[in-house]
Structure 1
Amino acid sequence: MPKVVSNLWFAEQAREAVEFYVSVIPDSRIGSTTILPAETPSGPPGSVELVEFTLGDQAFLAMKAGPLDSFNHSFSIAVLLDSQAEIDRIWDAFLANGGTPEACGWLKDRWGLSWQIVPRKLGEMIANSDRERAKRVTEVMLGMVKIDLAALEKAFKG
């Protein structure tokens, strides 16, 4: 069975970013770290660092390899949570660490990576077969910055 790993290219501070992510996201851990011993297009021997880590059940590889392309909204990490307390804790931790809030539960961390800090129920409510309920939830969610689970549930109930 193949293993799929998302690769995140950091200009600098890959290890610092990973340490922050695993400290905030439950059931996360850092695996191995490798310093490339050969010269690469990014620099001399030792200038590229690879950090394997897991957030929840998702595998990632962070690579510190100098500037290339910046992160953008075409890739984000969604953290699906079960309570408002979890949403608040993780949201607040990202903002306290230099993150910037965006719309609809999205934020950018201090390294420019996009995150969606959202309740697990949101996907279920939006996909509900009662399209009027789904529409109400979607309209309420579109007016939010940080997600308010109680407001979404209220919109869902009508």
Structure 2
Amino acid sequence: MTKGLVTCLWFDGQAEAAANYYCSVFKDSKITQVTPMVVTFEINGSKFMGLNGGPQFKFDEAVSFMVNCDSQEEIDYYWDTLTKDGGQESMCGWLKDKFGLSWQIIPSNIGELMADPERAQRVMAVVMQMKKLDKEKMENA
């Protein structure tokens, strides 16, 4: 077993399909092991295990993955890719992919945009009106 932290994602028989999908979305990714019960894979250096655990548990918004994007093009790519084929848009940069996993697709400079309390209020007022985030509108708030 791999040392360190590994995120375990519970699937209902779709672990290999999910791992293949996530590895197709993220450039720096690879599948490291496939068995009937588990699939291990890496995305951008983070380790994951997809478990074919059955129908007992489903993903919800209590856990999400944040994707920090340097440009609007990156935001558009991840948003469009993760919402297609059954994914669902939500509000404020949140979405669910076709497997039900929640993602936050955000600009990498969001910490800077939220550092000043007055500006943070303006930025949040803009963000609350959006589904997919518009980096330029956030920066101009």
TM norm structure 1: 0.83
C-alpha displacement of 1:61: 0.8
Query: What is the 5 A alignment of 1:78-93?
Result: 78-93=66-81
Return 5+ residue gaps in structure 1 as ranges.
36-48
The residue number in structure 2 matching 1:138 is: 124
Cα RMSD, aligned residues only: 1.3
Identity value in percent: 42
Determine helix, strand or coil for the equivalent of 2:92. Answer: coil
**Distance of 1:76 and 1:31 partners within structure 2:** 23
What displacement does 1:62 show?
A: 0.7
For residues 1-158 of structure 1, the aligned pairs below 5 Å read 3-35=4-36, 49-126=37-114, 128=115, 130-155=116-141
Instruction: Give the 3-state SS of the residue equivalent to 2:39 in structure 1.
Output: strand
The structure with the largest alpha-carbon Rg is 1
User: CA shift at 1:12, angstroms?
Assistant: 2.1
Q: Which moved more, 1:78-87 or 1:51-60?
A: 51-60
Q: Which residue of 2 aligns with 1:43?
A: none
Deviation at 1:65, TM superposition (A): 2.0
Q: 1:124 to 1:5 in 2, by over 3 A?
A: farther
SS state at 2:140 partner? helix
Confirm or deny: 8 A CA contact 2:84 2:98 kept in the other structure: no
User: What is the TM-score normalised by the length of structure 2?
Assistant: 0.92
Find runs of 4+ consecutive structure 1 residues off by over 4 angstroms: none
